[in-house]
Structure 1
Amino acid sequence: MAISLIPVEKAQSSTGPLVIVSVLNSPIERTRAPHRHARGQLLGARRGLLTVEAADHHWVVPATHAVWIPPDCVHGLRSHGPFQGWSVYVSAPGCAELPGQPCIIATSGLLREAVNRAATWGEGPLDQRQERIAHLILDEVAALPAEPFGLPLPLDPRLRRIGQALADDLADNRSLAQWAQWAGLSSRTLARRFVDETGFSFSQWRQRIRLLRALELLAAEVPVTTIALELGYDNVSAFIAMFRRAFGVTPGRYFIAVS
Structure 2
Amino acid sequence: MKRSIDYPLESRPIIGFADDYPAGFVDPLHLHHRSQLSYAANGTIAVRTESASFILPPQRAIWIPAGTMHELHCRASVSTYTLYIDPEFDRGLRRCRVFEVSDLVRALIFEVGGFPADYDLAGREGRIARLLLDEVEHMPSTPSEIFMPSDRRLLRVCHALIDDPADQRDLDDWAAIAGMGRRTFTRLFREQTGAGFGVWRQQVRLMAALSLLAQGEAIANAAFDVGYESASAFTAMFHRTFGMPPSAYLQQAHLKPRPMQRARGPA
TM-score, scaled to structure 1: 0.77
- 1:47–1:62 CA distance, 2 compared to 1 (3 A): same
Residue 88 of structure 1 pairs with residue 83 of structure 2: yes
What is the number of residues matched between the two proteins? 246
Structure 2: distance between partners of 1:175 and 1:80: 28
After TM superposition, list the pairs within 5 Å mapping 1:111-150 onto structure 2.
111-120=105-114, 124-126=117-119, 130-131=125-126, 133-146=128-141, 149-150=144-145
User: What does residue 261 of structure 2 align with?
Assistant: none
- Higher relative contact order, structure no. (Cα contacts within 8 Å, ≥ 6 residues apart): 2
Q: Is the CA contact 1:17–1:125 (under 8 Å) kept in the aligned structure 2?
A: no
Alignment deviations for residues 139-163 of structure 1 (CA, whole Å, 9 cap, x no partner): 3212214566411111111211222
User: What does residue 6 of structure 1 align with?
Assistant: 4
Tell me how far 1:117 sits from its aligned partner.
Answer: 4.7
Residue 160 of structure 1 pairs with residue 155 of structure 2: yes
Residue 69 of structure 1 pairs with residue 99 of structure 2: no
Q: Is the CA contact 2:100–2:142 (under 8 Å) kept in the aligned structure 1?
A: no
Aligned-pair identity in percent equals: 30
Residue 44 of structure 2 is aligned with which of 29, 32, 48?
48
User: What does residue 20 of structure 1 align with?
Assistant: 16
Aligned amino acid, residue 175 of structure 2: A
Residue 78 of structure 1 pairs with residue 76 of structure 2: no
Aligned amino acid, residue 81 of structure 1: R
Tell me how far 1:216 sits from its aligned partner.
Answer: 4.5
Alignment deviations for residues 116-170 of structure 1 (CA, whole Å, 9 cap, x no partner): 454455x531266654543343232122145664111111112112222222222
Structure 1: distance between partners of 2:236 and 2:14: 46
Tell me how far 1:40 sits from its aligned partner.
Answer: 1.7
Q: Which moved more, 1:107-116 or 1:154-163?
A: 107-116
- 1:113–1:212 CA distance, 2 compared to 1 (3 A): farther
Q: Is the CA contact 2:8–2:117 (under 8 Å) kept in the aligned structure 1?
A: no
Tell me how far 1:5 sits from its aligned partner.
Answer: 5.1
Tell me how far 1:217 sits from its aligned partner.
Answer: 4.5
Residue 194 of structure 1 is aligned with which of 189, 192, 195?
189
Q: Is the CA contact 2:13–2:89 (under 8 Å) kept in the aligned structure 1?
A: no
Structure 1: distance between partners of 2:181 and 2:47: 26
RMSD: 3.3
Tell me how far 1:222 sits from its aligned partner.
Answer: 4.0
- 1:43–1:113 CA distance, 2 compared to 1 (3 A): same
Structure 2: distance between partners of 1:156 and 1:43: 29
User: What does residue 101 of structure 1 align with?
Assistant: 94
Tell me how far 1:197 sits from its aligned partner.
Answer: 0.5
Aligned amino acid, residue 207 of structure 2: L
Structure 2: distance between partners of 1:171 and 1:244: 20
User: What does residue 53 of structure 2 align with?
Assistant: 59
Q: Secondary structure at the match of 2:237?
A: helix
- Structure 1: 5+ residue stretches without partners: none
- 1:151–1:118 CA distance, 2 compared to 1 (3 A): same
- 1:160–1:23 CA distance, 2 compared to 1 (3 A): same
Residue 174 of structure 1 pairs with residue 169 of structure 2: yes
- 1:117–1:230 CA distance, 2 compared to 1 (3 A): farther
Q: Is the CA contact 1:23–1:119 (under 8 Å) kept in the aligned structure 2?
A: no
Q: Is the CA contact 1:228–1:236 (under 8 Å) kept in the aligned structure 2?
A: yes
Structure 2: distance between partners of 1:179 and 1:23: 38
Q: Is the CA contact 1:166–1:172 (under 8 Å) kept in the aligned structure 2?
A: yes
User: What does residue 255 of structure 2 align with?
Assistant: none
Q: Which moved more, 1:100-109 or 1:159-168?
A: 100-109
